[in-house]
C-alpha cells in the first residue's frame, strides 16, 4: 500500500505538466522562467531563465539558443541529450513566469503608443489592448517591424483574412521589441457609408459579393430617421457624380434582393433621412400641438 501511495506525487506532477490535447502551443521568449523536471533525478531538475541571447544556464543546453521554440520542440531537443546519462528519462517542461513584452502600436487604433504586455500574446490581442482598430484601419496590410538574430525585418499580416477564415488561432505571436503599424485605408480599399446610419464611416466589404445593404449593416444599420427607400449609391467607376437611387426596403419586401447593387472599394452609399412629415414622431408632435390648441380654445370658450 505504501508503494502505491508513493506514486501519487508522480501522477500529480504528470497531470500538471503534460499538455492536454487541443491546448494552445506555447512559445519560449527571452525572460521566460522554465521549469525543467526529470522525474527521479533532482540534480537534472531546475528552474532556468531564458537570457537575452536566447540561451539558459541549464547544463545540457549551454550555448544553445532556445527562444522562439515551442515547449514541445524544446522537449524533442533536450530528450536525446538526457538519454546519454539517463535511461528512458521522463522529462516535463513548463513556463512558470512570462516575460513582460515592451512593444509599440501605431496607426489606426484608438489608443496608439507604447505598451507593456504579458506574453504570450498575438496580433489580435495587441490591437485589442490598444483600444481596437478604427473604422479607417486597413486590416489587410498590418506591418510588424521586428529585430532578431537576422537583423531588422518587416512582417506583413493580413489580419482580415485570418479573421474571415476563422483562423485567429494561427496568428503569429508578438515578441519583445515589436512595432505594430496599422495603416489607414486608401480610398480604393473601402466603401464610404454616409447619412442616416448609426456609425457613418469607411468600411471594407466583407467579400466580393457584398452589396449596398451589407455595407449599411456594417455601419451599424439604418438609424431611426433613415429611409431605406431613399438610398443613394455612387459607384467608383463612374467619372461623373451621378448617384443612383436604390429603394432597398421595397426591393427586399418584394423578394428582389438580387436587384440590390453589389459594391466595390471606392463606392459611396448614402442613406437619406425621412422627410419631416413622414416621421411618426413628427405626427405625434403635431397631434399633441393640436390637442393643446383645442384644450386652450375650450377653456377660453367657458370663460
DSSP-derived secondary structure for 142-210: EEEEEEETTEEEEEEE-HHHHHHTT-GGGSPBP-TT-EEEEPBPPGGG-EEEEESBSS-EEE--SSTT-
pLDDT at 13: 39
Asked if 88 and 78 count as a contact pair (C-beta separation under 8 A), the reply is: no
Looking at the DSSP assignment, which residues form a beta bridge with residue 35?
47, 94
**Average pLDDT score, the chain:** 82
Domains 2-97 and 188-278 equal at CATH topology level: no
Q: What is the CATH number of domain 100-182?
A: 3.10.560.10
Q: What is the CATH number of domain 188-278?
A: 3.10.560.10
Q: What is the residue extent of each domain of the chain? A: 2-97, 100-182, 188-278
Could you tell me how far CA 297 lies from the centroid of its own chain? Answer: 63
C-alpha distances (whole Å) from 294 to each of 166, 277, 288 are 63, 21, 10
User: For 163, phi and psi rounded to 5 degrees?
Assistant: -70, -40
* Res. 91: pLDDT tops 90: yes
How far is Cα 174 from Cα 98, in angstroms, rounded to an integer? 13
Mean pLDDT, residues 51-69? 87
Q: Where are the beta strands (DSSP E) in the chain?
A: 33-38, 46-49, 91-97, 100-107, 113-118, 142-148, 151-157, 179-182, 191-195, 201-203, 226-234, 244-246, 268-273
pLDDT at 81: 92
| Residues 145-198: tens digit of each pLDDT | 998 777 788 999 999 888 888 888 888 889 888 999 999 887 677 898 999 999
Provide the whole-model pTM: 0.48
pLDDT at 22: 42
* Res. 268: pLDDT tops 50: yes
C-alpha distances (whole Å) from 128 to each of 14, 90, 200, 230 are 35, 40, 22, 36
* Res. 297: pLDDT tops 60: no
| Residues 27-51: tens digit of each pLDDT | 888 778 899 999 999 999 998 888 8
Residue 274: all three cell numbers together: 425621412
* Res. 295: pLDDT tops 70: no
Least confident of 37-46, 132-141, 240-249: 240-249
pLDDT at 79: 93
| Residues 272-294: tens digit of each pLDDT | 887 654 555 555 665 666 566 55
Residue 257: all three cell numbers together: 434582393
Confidence band for 240, pLDDT divided at 50, 70 and 90: low
**Thinking of the domain 2-97, which architecture would CATH place it in?**
2-Layer Sandwich (3.30)
How far is Cα 50 from Cα 31, in angstroms, rounded to an integer? 5
pLDDT at 197: 93
Residue 141: all three cell numbers together: 496590410
pLDDT at 284: 62
* Res. 259: pLDDT tops 50: yes
* Res. 114: pLDDT tops 90: yes
Residues 6+ apart with CB under 8 A from 24: 169
Asked if 64 and 76 count as a contact pair (C-beta separation under 8 A), the reply is: no
User: For 293, phi and psi rounded to 5 degrees?
Assistant: -65, -45
Mean pLDDT, residues 75-93? 92
Amino acid at each position: 500500500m505504501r508503494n502505491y501511495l508513493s506514486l501519487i506525487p508522480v501522477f500529480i506532477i504528470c497531470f500538471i505538466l503534460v499538455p492536454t490535447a487541443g491546448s494552445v502551443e506555447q512559445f519560449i521568449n527571452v525572460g521566460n522562467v522554465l521549469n525543467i523536471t526529470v522525474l527521479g533525478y533532482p540534480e537534472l531538475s531546475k528552474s532556468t531563465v531564458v537570457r537575452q541571447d536566447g540561451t539558459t544556464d541549464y547544463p545540457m543546453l549551454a550555448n544553445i539558443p532556445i527562444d522562439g521554440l515551442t515547449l514541445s520542440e524544446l522537449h524533442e531537443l533536450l530528450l536525446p541529450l538526457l538519454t546519454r546519462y539517463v535511461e528512458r528519462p521522463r522529462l516535463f517542461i513548463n513556463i512558470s513566469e512570462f516575460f513582460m513584452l515592451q512593444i509599440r502600436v501605431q496607426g489606426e487604433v484608438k489608443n496608439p503608443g507604447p505598451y507593456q504586455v504579458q506574453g504570450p500574446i498575438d496580433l489580435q490581442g495587441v490591437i485589442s489592448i490598444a483600444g481596437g482598430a478604427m473604422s479607417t484601419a486597413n486590416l489587410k496590410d498590418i506591418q510588424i517591424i521586428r529585430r532578431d538574430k537576422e537583423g531588422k525585418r518587416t512582417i506583413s499580416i493580413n489580419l482580415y483574412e485570418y479573421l474571415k477564415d476563422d483562423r485567429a488561432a494561427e496568428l503569429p505571436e508578438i515578441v519583445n521589441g515589436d512595432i505594430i503599424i496599422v495603416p489607414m485605408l486608401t480610398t480604393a480599399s473601402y466603401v464610404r457609408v454616409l447619412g442616416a446610419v448609426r456609425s457613418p464611416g469607411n468600411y471594407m466589404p466583407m467579400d466580393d459579393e457584398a452589396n449596398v445593404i451589407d455595407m449599411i449593416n456594417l455601419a451599424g444599420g439604418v438609424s431611426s430617421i433613415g429611409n431605406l427607400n431613399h438610398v443613394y449609391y455612387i459607384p467608383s467607376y463612374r467619372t461623373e457624380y451621378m448617384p443612383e437611387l436604390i429603394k432597398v426596403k421595397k426591393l427586399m419586401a418584394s423578394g428582389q434582393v438580387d436587384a440590390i447593387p453589389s459594391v466595390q472599394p471606392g463606392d459611396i452609399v448614402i442613406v437619406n433621412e425621412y422627410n419631416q412629415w413622414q416621421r411618426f414622431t413628427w405626427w405625434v408632435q403635431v397631434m399633441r400641438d393640436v390637442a393643446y390648441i383645442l384644450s386652450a380654445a375650450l377653456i377660453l370658450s367657458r370663460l
